[in-house]
Chain A
């Protein structure tokens, strides 16, 4: 069984500062991390390895900082890493990222399951699983919180709004996971050194036969007009007082707003 876990590095969202005048986010200098649900996808792949002896390839698209980060994924248990690093990928939108991932998957070769997080930590657009499955023309099971596999049949529990849906499909397929599926392990210290000895394939877009002009901001199907923190319309009244007095102030304020009878 061959499992590919697709993970994405984004800047650490806790470290974002907002410029007071323009309300734009300051991204320079913020460290890069893999998203939480990306880690869930990787963890599930490693569990399939432990349970069924699957071979795990971790795949990621990004820019220069990826090389150091991917060692963490290898230390967690992936057998091999494939990374696509290209300056054009830095501003790639979901359409381009899905194309790049699909071509990388084709280069990697036959697979049984592609695991991916339900959404990335930064934009959470959730388009990658949809677009990747369509591009590869394989079935897609989204929002999976429980997964089991027997020979080439996957049984999954999907987490929909009002119901849990138990579904079955044949491999090869794409699966997107929710954060409930598992608790991702940390990279064991002993494995971190060994990780650098595992196979690491670094590709450019050219290696995948993709014209760099088709990727990146100019080719993007989306034009970002602005990206700013919302204007603070909250009142920001902070009440610091003994509980009795604080409650009195709060209730009076809420009554004035008509929020309490």
Chain B
């Protein structure tokens, strides 16, 4: 019997997702799955993790650990997993989670795989998939150390309720000194954009000639009930669209049912963010553009001709 699986995320949804997979692994390895929760919570708040299969909720009810206080998060995870603690650590690969994963792994002298997109038990081994070589390949890896730290891409697993009767274990830890002090927290403008969970996504790239032409793209978005996404160029270089809508390796990774990529050449830095889309449509005037290689449907044509026609067509249909 393995010492167990523990999941960690700074959001409840993250914990639910990881519990869903952690539950499956713990059954297979004949062990138990627990969740680590940091901060003062009442019993009701903790019990919701039982709904997603947590057999144990380990809580450090510290009142003075602030949001994003990584030193404290790393300390807590290390303390509850060291020695005979759980040996499989599933951490949600948010930016915070990714930092925490690497640091806990180093403290545990453990191997670590970040940004996992799949976890498959094979015999006695756990095979972890992640993108490699800039997204050109998928690397399937086995962590050889006893302790295994895995940060899992958000929404890799769908949270599914599976109620159990679990128990709450309170741990009393000493808070490490705060070496990185928070001065200010600035909410991102346009933060309401939740493109990661959009069912339909329209992505626009540098094929767009003028900022004003975004109106056309936005009209298509509203007709398709789609969220607007963009390449790094349009957000970080041109500042035409806020960065919270940037899709790709340095932006968001999306999993829509339909992605419509318009005027996007298809550099791997961007396409990694749409790779998990169910259907990819590409509209580009360059027939050789790499985006067509990953498209289900590719329309070779000038976006300034195709998009207005598409808008017209959908409008006609809606009427």
**A contacts, CB < 8 Å to B:** 13, 16, 18, 23-25, 93-95, 98, 118-119, 121-131, 133-135, 139-143, 155, 158-170, 173, 178-180, 220-230, 234-241, 243-244, 246-248, 250-251, 253-254, 257, 259-261
Contact = CB atoms under 8 A, between A and B. Distances in A.
Nearest to A170: B179
Nearest to B282: A238
Nearest to B145: A221
A165 to B, nearest CB: 6
Q: Could you tell me the dominant secondary structure of chain A's interface residues?
A: mixed
Place the interface of chain B in its size category.
35 or more
Nearest to A102: B106
B309 A164 contact: no
A161 B310 CA distance: 33
A24 to B, nearest CB: 8
A212 B309 CA distance: 63
Question: Which 3 interchain pairs have the tightest Cβ spacing?
Answer: A130-B102, A221-B111, A13-B134
A244 B144 contact: no
Given A130-B102, A134-B107, A179-B232, A246 B114 contact: no
Given A123-B132, A239-B298, A247-B313, A155 B99 contact: no
B250 A168 contact: no
B99 A239 contact: no
B95 A229 contact: no
A116 B237 CA distance: 22
Nearest to B94: A161
Contact of A160 (B68, B102, B268): B68
Contacts, number: 240
Given A13-B133, A134-B103, A180-B236, A127 B298 contact: no
A155 to B, nearest CB: 7
Given A133-B103, A243-B305, A234 B280 contact: yes
Nearest to A253: B297
A23 B133 CA distance: 13
Contacts of B183: 155, 166-168
B142 A225 contact: yes
A164 B188 contact: yes
Nearest to B312: A247
B127 A13 contact: no
A161 B258 contact: no
Given A125-B112, A246-B299, 20 more contacts: A13-B134, A95-B106, A124-B115, A126-B115, A128-B102, A135-B106, A158-B68, A160-B96, A165-B68, A223-B144, A224-B140, A228-B137, A229-B136, A236-B293, A236-B296, A239-B298, A240-B300, A244-B309, A251-B314, A259-B257
B179 to A, nearest CB: 4
Contacts of B140: 224-227
Contacts of B313: 247-248, 251
A79 to B, nearest CB: 28
Interface in B54-113: 68, 70-71, 94-96, 98-103, 105-107, 110-113
Contact of A222 (B71, B141, B278): B141
Nearest to B311: A247
A159 B317 CA distance: 42
A230 B299 CA distance: 23
